[in-house]
Amino acid sequence: MNKENPVKIKFYNGEDIPLELHKVRIVQKLHLVPIERRLEALYEGGFNTFGLKTTDIFLDMITDSGVNAMSDNQLAAMMQADDAYAGSQSFIRMQKAVEDVLGQKYLLPVHQGRAAENIIACAYIKKGSLIPMNYHFTTTLAHITQYGGRIVELLYDEAYKTTSSHPFKGNMNIEKLEGIIIKEDASNIPFIRMEASTNLIGGQPFSIQNLRDVKAIADKYGIRLVLDASLLGENAYLVKQREPEFAEYSMGEIIQIMTGMADIVYFSARKLSSSRGGGICTNNDKIYREMEPLIPLFEGFLTYGGMSVREIEAIAVGLYETLDETMISQSPDFIRYLVNSATEQGVPMITPPGVLGAHVNARDICKHLDKREYIAGAFAAAFFLISGVRGMERGSLSNQRDEYGNETYADMELLRLAVPRRVFTLSQIKYVIDRLVWLNENRELIGGLKFVYEPPVLRFFMGRLEPVSDWPQKLIAKFKEDFGDSL
Ligand code: F0G
């Protein structure tokens, strides 16, 4: 019996599998094209999964952002949206949802999560400011440095171990935090940032006890605490699963304990409520006033912030749905199944399973590849070739070169396979595991990649690469040998 299953559904035969607690009422046809076409698509897309088109993709696991399934109630709400430049009823409904679910009185609407980061950075970061955080997200770092700030990442060493049983790898190192504040002087630290379900280290949560410790230090030195709540629902779900003190708490109670400790809560609604848009919220009217003028400047009027009223309605409903454990558990439970099954069959995965997606340790699989050959990028291309499944490279390809043009190699070479909420079925997840096991067993056939076009910024989005040898053709030959005429 799976003790972590919140809805406690046992199978008579003892099987431990997640069960879908929704029914599918609108579907989209998928394309599983032959492996030869997948190779052509790779050449057309520059061996970069961002260059692929969905007509060539079977399961799109590049992200969960903006692609979680929406509910019937969200779609219904979108139909009754109230279009108005100012004073829209839709915005009032979103404000109420933010107050009811996140416990925050004031709401500043923004067009997506990175826009919230821009506003917060613009309001509080001066040249030389230092922002301690558990770990950065790409857009967060970009906005902080854009305004002349610096960051320091304060995870415990355990977080950098690819295989671990630590339940809260997203925890902030409290001793280091206090040390940094003393060294730097609190006046140079406008805020401390905690990211719920730390994305780039494998969607790993922090505990409420850790947040309490961070809050105590923030209060001691009079520093604001900012919570990136984009993956808050999943972090709350894992708190319920893994932090014994909260085992009997409701999702709503856990969420409000977390948001209640922050001075500023911001979120990407592309993740938090399965739609589009975002928001910044607070209970502090001074903080609200400090950021308020920036919304019309960067985003739009205070009652839409660059979002359509339909999106605003969907966010309001989606926020309430975050409180439903049968909904919020779906993606983490499927990820756990994927990670545990793949691990049992010998595939090196990041453990413990986190949220947002399953992360494959490409460096451990491709030990024969040189780090200059973009290990995770090559693995992502190879996996698409043999499965039609698109993941996202999270390794050195996603890094920028240093100021002298040298490569900076990433801490980890990962393939992220996102599992958006209520999008994939269990048989599709089983297919992903099956192809991962096959590729791991044929790993010696995977070769490296080299750039043919390398853009100066954010090269992982637009960059074009090619294989360093004819390894894709050799991989296809072995695939045909083992799978015959199977797609
Ligand atoms: N914060 C976190 C933790 C995120 O994961 C993201 C986006 C953002 C902020 C920015 O939000 O995209 O609405 O501007 N993560 C996406 C991903 C892009 O694929 O993981 P946004």
pLDDT tens for residues 71-98?
999 999 999 999 999 999 999 999 999 9
Task: Give residue 462 CA to ligand 1 midpoint distance, Å.
Answer: 18
482 carries an active-site annotation: no
* 271 catalytic per annotation: yes
Q: Is residue 232 part of a domain?
A: yes
What is the pLDDT, as a whole number, of residue 345? Answer: 98
State the pLDDT at residue 1: 33
Q: Is 160 a catalytic residue?
A: no
Domain identity same for 212 and 347: no
Task: Tell me whether residue 258 is in a domain.
Answer: yes
Separation of CA 137 and ligand 1 centre (Å): 7
Statement to judge: residues 181 and 213 lie in one domain = yes
**Residue (of 380, 359, 390) closest to 33 by Cα position:** 390
CATH of the domain at 393: 3.90.1150.10
User: Helices 35-44 & 471-483, crossing angle to 10 degrees?
Assistant: 160
Judgement on whether residues 120 and 53 belong to the same structural domain of the protein: no
The per-residue pLDDT for 402 is: 83
**Closest ligand 1 atom to 64 CA:** 19
| 8 A C-beta contact, residue 375 and residue 389 | no
What lies within 8 Å, CB to CB, of 24 at 6+ separation is none
Q: Please check whether residues 92 and 182 belong to one and the same domain.
A: yes
- 166 plus 267 within the same structural domain: yes
- Beta carbons of 110 and 350 less than 8 angstroms apart: no
Report the phi/psi class of residue 84: left, alpha or beta, with left for phi > 0 and alpha for psi in -120 to 50: beta
- 114 Cα to the center of ligand 1, angstroms: 7
Q: Please give the model's pTM, rounded to 2 decimal places.
A: 0.95
Choosing from 266, 289, 323, the residue where a domain stops is: 323
Residue type, 147: Y
Distance CA 198, CA 132 (A): 14
Say whether both 294 and 422 belong to one domain. Answer: no
For residue 26, being part of any structural domain is answered with no
User: Which one of 307, 323, 339 terminates a domain?
Assistant: 323
Active-site option among 85, 127, 286, 404 = 85
Ligand 1, closest atom to CA 195?
A: 3
Active site residue 139: no
* pLDDT given for residue 3 in this prediction: 45
Ligand 1 lining (C-beta closer than 6 Å): 63, 65, 112-114, 137, 139, 195, 199, 228, 230-231, 268, 270, 278
Taking alpha carbons only, the member of 338, 356, 297, 318 closest to residue 435 is: 338
Segments in the chain below pLDDT 70: 1-7
- Could you tell me if 301 and 336 lie in one domain? no
Q: Give the Cα separation of 182 and 220 in Å (integer).
A: 11
Give the residues across from 418 on adjacent strands. 357
Dist. CA 44 → ligand 1 center (Å): 27
Total domains in the chain come to 2
Q: 418 C-alpha to center of ligand 1: Å? A: 13
Task: Note if 461 is an active site residue.
Answer: no
The catalytically annotated residue of 124, 137, 374, 431 is 137
Of 364, 401, 63, give the one whose Cα is nearest residue 200: 63
Same structural domain, 306 and 398? no
**Residue 453 in tokens:** 């076009």
Within a domain: 28: no
Direct distance between the N- and C-terminal alpha carbons of the chain, in angstroms, rounded to an integer: 35
> Is the distance from CB of 355 to CB of 238 less than 8 angstroms?
yes
Bridge pairing between strands 357-361 and 414-418: antiparallel
Distances (CA, A) of 79 to 43, 89, 163: 42, 13, 46
Please indicate, yes or no, if residue 341 is contained in any of the structural domains. Answer: yes
Residue ending a domain, choose from 278, 293, 323: 323
- Where b means 16+ CB within 10 Å and e means fewer, 234-270 reads bbbbbbbbbbeebeebebbebbbbbbebbbbbbbbbb
pLDDT given for residue 21 in this prediction:
92
127 and 224 together in one domain? yes
Catalytic choice (228, 276, 424, 479): 228
Q: Cα–Cα distances in Å, from 333 out to 19, 249, 254, 272?
A: 9, 19, 19, 17
* Residue 209 and residue 338 in one domain: no
> Distance (Å, rounded) from C-alpha 341 to C-alpha 2?
14
CATH code where residue 165 lies: 3.40.640.10
Of 138, 139, 145, 343, which residue is the catalytic one? 138
306: containing domain:
72-323
At 6 the pLDDT is: 55
